[in-house]
Amino acid sequence: MEKLKEDIKLMDNEIQKIKEKQMKNKRNNINDNLSTSNINMLSTFNFKLILKTFTGHTNWVRSIDYSAFDDDQFICSGSSDCTIRVWDVDNNKQIQLFNGHSNSVSCVKFSSYHYQNHRQNIICSSSLDKTIRFLDFKHNKQLQIFNIHTDCVTGIEFSPFNSGRYLYSGSYDNTIRLWDVETSKQLHVFNGHEKVVWCVDISPLQSNNNK
């Protein structure tokens, strides 16, 4: 009788493991279905209307940004395929690809500071490889690399004041860091968080105080 009880208990444990594995696979399938490697441009007034689709990434697109330089419209995108791609909106074409990151790209931003002060077309990117990189997409070359974070870099944001000269970054190392884009120097480390900093933004009130 005791042997039978033990066998039943073992069987119940195996059944439970199978159920847990099935649930895990189901969740993964749901995540895969929700994620996409495409970028869709939607109508502002009709979200069901897809105006353009940009295809090229081979894994999830994690971040995009839009800007116009010299009357041309561009989108940049960062992906879990470790690449950054630049798209010509008017021609619906990929015009540049950067693969310098060794892990997923978390966030991408066009730099208004470089354009306004140096007439350069620059993208700033953060990655799970712990780095922040500046890329000249017009001349297809990498500029600065910020590599002081000790863990994955998540969100980045340029300051709305001083023409975007300052960059803020969040990280898995629980810090927010402030950088001077012009000098490539780290100016300050904010240590208040106890866990991952996923996103950063800057108060518009700060912008008003720095006019």
- The whole-model pTM stands at 0.78
> Which of 6-15, 27-36, 74-83, 162-171 has the least mean pLDDT?
27-36
Q: Examine residue 33 and state whether it is found in any structural domain, yes or no.
A: no
In the chain, the number of structural domains is: 1
Q: Examine residue 175 and state whether it is found in any structural domain, yes or no.
A: yes
Q: Examine residue 174 and state whether it is found in any structural domain, yes or no.
A: yes
Residue 58 CB: number of other CB atoms within 10 A? 10
Q: What is the pLDDT of residue 31?
A: 41
Q: Examine residue 71 and state whether it is found in any structural domain, yes or no.
A: yes
What is the average pLDDT value for the chain, to the nearest integer?
85
* Cβ contact 148:186 at 8 Å: yes
CA pair distance 50, 14, nearest whole angstrom:
47
- Overall average pLDDT of the 120-125 stretch: 95
CA pair distance 84, 101, nearest whole angstrom:
9
Q: Examine residue 184 and state whether it is found in any structural domain, yes or no.
A: yes
Q: Examine residue 53 and state whether it is found in any structural domain, yes or no.
A: no
Q: Examine residue 36 and state whether it is found in any structural domain, yes or no.
A: no
The range of the structural domain enclosing residue 87 comes to: 58-209
CA pair distance 60, 39, nearest whole angstrom:
10
Q: What is the pLDDT of residue 206?
A: 60
Above 70 in pLDDT, residue 3?
A: no
Question: What would the pLDDT profile of 57-96 be if each residue is shown by its tens digit?
Answer: 999 999 999 998 888 899 999 999 999 999 999 999 999 9
Look up the CATH number of the domain holding residue 181: 2.130.10.10
139: Cβ contacts below 8 Å, ≥ 6 apart: none
Q: Examine residue 167 and state whether it is found in any structural domain, yes or no.
A: yes
